[in-house]
Amino acid sequence: MTIRTRLALQFAAILAVTLMVFSLVIYYFTYQSRQEFFTANLLARTRVVAHVYLDGTNRSDEASRASYRRYLRQFYRTLPEEEARVYNAANEVVFQEGEGRLDSIPLKMLAEVRAKRQVIIKDKDLRQTIGVLYHDAQRGDFVVVASSLDADSRRQLRSLRRRLLGGFLASLSIVGLGGWFFARQALRPMQRIVQEVDTITASDLHRRLSQADGQDEVSHLAQRFNSLLNRLETAFAGQKNFVRDASHELRTPLAALMGELEVALLQKRTPEEYRRTLSSTLDAARLLSNLTNGLLQIARASDDPSQITLGLVRLDELLLQAHEEMQRRQPTCRIDLAFHENGKAEQDTVFEVRGNEALLLAAILNVLENACKFSRDSKKPIMATLSSNEKRVMLEVLDYGLGMNEADRQQVFVPFFRAETVRNVPGHGIGLPLTAKIMGLHCGSVQVESQLNIGTRVILEWPIASQMRVKA
| Predicted local distance difference test score (pLDDT) of residue 469 | 46
Q: Where are the domains of the chain?
A: 3-156, 217-299, 308-463
Average pLDDT over residues 361-385: 87
| Predicted local distance difference test score (pLDDT) of residue 383 | 93
In this predicted structure, the answer to whether residue 386 has a pLDDT above a threshold of 90 is yes
Do the domains 217-299 and 308-463 sit in the same CATH topology, yes or no?
no
State the CATH class of domain 308-463.
Answer: alpha beta
| Predicted local distance difference test score (pLDDT) of residue 405 | 84
Average pLDDT over residues 135-150: 80
Which of 227 and 301 is assigned the larger pLDDT? 227
Band (pLDDT 50/70/90 cuts) for residue 133 is confident
Band (pLDDT 50/70/90 cuts) for residue 404 is confident
| Predicted local distance difference test score (pLDDT) of residue 319 | 92
| Predicted local distance difference test score (pLDDT) of residue 471 | 39
pTM: 0.47
In this predicted structure, the answer to whether residue 89 has a pLDDT above a threshold of 70 is yes
| Predicted local distance difference test score (pLDDT) of residue 161 | 87
Q: For domain 217-299, give the CATH number.
A: 1.10.287.130
CA angle 210, 216, 221 (to 5 degrees): 55
Average pLDDT over residues 410-426: 70
Of 3.40.50.360, 3.30.450.20, 3.40.50.720, 2.60.40.10, the CATH number of 3-156 is: 3.30.450.20
How far apart are alpha carbons 153 and 145 in whole angstroms? 21
In this predicted structure, the answer to whether residue 50 has a pLDDT above a threshold of 80 is no
Nearest CA among 217, 164, 165, 150 for reference residue 190: 217
Band (pLDDT 50/70/90 cuts) for residue 398 is very high
